[in-house]
A and B are shown apart, each in its own frame.
Chain A
């Protein structure tokens, strides 16, 4: 029993079929509890008022935006090294989800920034690097869909993912150098001192769990779809050849 067994598409589909309903239900449960708890049963911040509650969407989506790219990076490396098709398809499946997460983080940030900073958008390092991350997602998705041959597309986009990761990190530090930040420090870290107050902390954790589960469920579902679509295409091609 090893992880590589799931490189077999049939095995992958069978296992994910089994766990997908559970993950989806858990994701919905976590999101519903976390959001309702966060929105209705936490006090308002003494300075930010009710706008603080956007944290329950903003922080988890920002977290997943970065982790989705990390997941694509790992999947791309697995594809390059071991050439498991499921891995390439999982990277492809994660990209649009990650792009939407980035967009949610940017949009909720803008909504929060308007009353708090007095502006929808500031050229702050964190905001800017998220915008650049979004552009990377767009480029990656566009490259996948532009190339017709599946294996070539998988190869090229995984190399783009590797090179893009390096440049994304570079850009992160470059924009830090370029402009001083308006964005506050980390709301969450393993270091207890830096965390937000406990009343906000626990519902936030539930929301993050919900976003992680949602991401996993969506990636599983999309990967299954990709596998089935590819199988259908293969069957049609075989049919036409006679």
Chain B
């Protein structure tokens, strides 16, 4: 498992695009929002937590098809399937690699981009925390979507249609934590619910992803 994780990370770093693409997309989205709604700082302060969450979510979505598609095309996945490692382990490692290459940079970049959106001073910490707790769920759910659409020629659009409704609860609680944090309200309840969704998804969804992948490799 460790070897597979190291390989995925090395591939992401050396082949390029892994870190860069998601982050630049996040930057572009955040920069475009003020153009869309106007540069009024009070308004931006109010919507900043939500925009940061949606930006992170879309950046995550953009990189989902890279999780499994390359390994599927060159046959690595077939080899991995015959390896002693169970399929559940493989998809978990893939999701973890996706989180490290996409989710983590997004988490770290979010407070910086918060400056651009004039985020309220209390919000920085909670945007960081909510994204750190929520993005693992995004990666795991995304891996499930990627496994579903892997065999399709033009799976990208279908992937977003399948994955975005599944992202709804995570987005609601995550954005709620960030918003309450920015308004200096109590964040405990939504944060616990967000953590619940994250842990639940990490614990259970790999089984569904593995089942789906086995069907697709049949």
Contact = CB atoms under 8 A, between A and B. Distances in A.
B171 to A, nearest CB: 9
Interface in A8-32: none
B25 to A, nearest CB: 23
A170 to B, nearest CB: 4
A146 B151 CA distance: 10
A143 B165 contact: no
Contact of B176 (A132, A138, A160, A177): A177
A147 B205 CA distance: 22
Contacts, number: 72
Q: Is the interface of A mostly helix, strand, loop or mixed?
A: helix
Interface centre among A155, A167, A177, by most chain B C-beta atoms within 10 angstroms, is A167
B216 A171 contact: no
Interface string B194-207: 00010000000100
A173 to B, nearest CB: 8
A175 B197 CA distance: 14
Interface in B135-172: 144, 148-149, 151-152, 155, 158, 161-162, 164-166, 168-169, 172
A138 B193 CA distance: 27
A167 B193 CA distance: 14
Interface centre among B152, B169, B173, by most chain A C-beta atoms within 10 angstroms, is B169
B173 to A, nearest CB: 6
Contact of A138 (B161, B166, B168, B173): B161
A170 B148 CA distance: 21
A178 interface: yes
A38 interface: no
A216 interface: no
A230 B212 CA distance: 24
A177 B197 CA distance: 14
B54 interface: no
Contacts of A170: 169, 197
Contacts of B205: 163
Nearest to A168: B165
A156 B165 contact: no
Given A170-B169, A171-B168, A171-B169, A160 B152 contact: no
A78 interface: no
Given A146-B152, A159-B208, A178 B176 contact: yes
Interface in B32-60: none
Contacts of B173: 174, 177
B80 to A, nearest CB: 20
Given A159-B211, A174-B169, 12 more contacts: A146-B155, A147-B152, A152-B151, A156-B216, A163-B166, A164-B166, A167-B166, A170-B169, A173-B169, A174-B168, A177-B176, A177-B193
Interface of B: 144, 148-149, 151-152, 155, 158, 161-162, 164-166, 168-169, 172-173, 176, 190, 193, 197, 205, 208, 211-212, 215-216, 218
Interface of A: 132, 135-136, 138-139, 142-143, 146-147, 152, 155-156, 159-160, 162-164, 167, 170-171, 173-175, 177-178
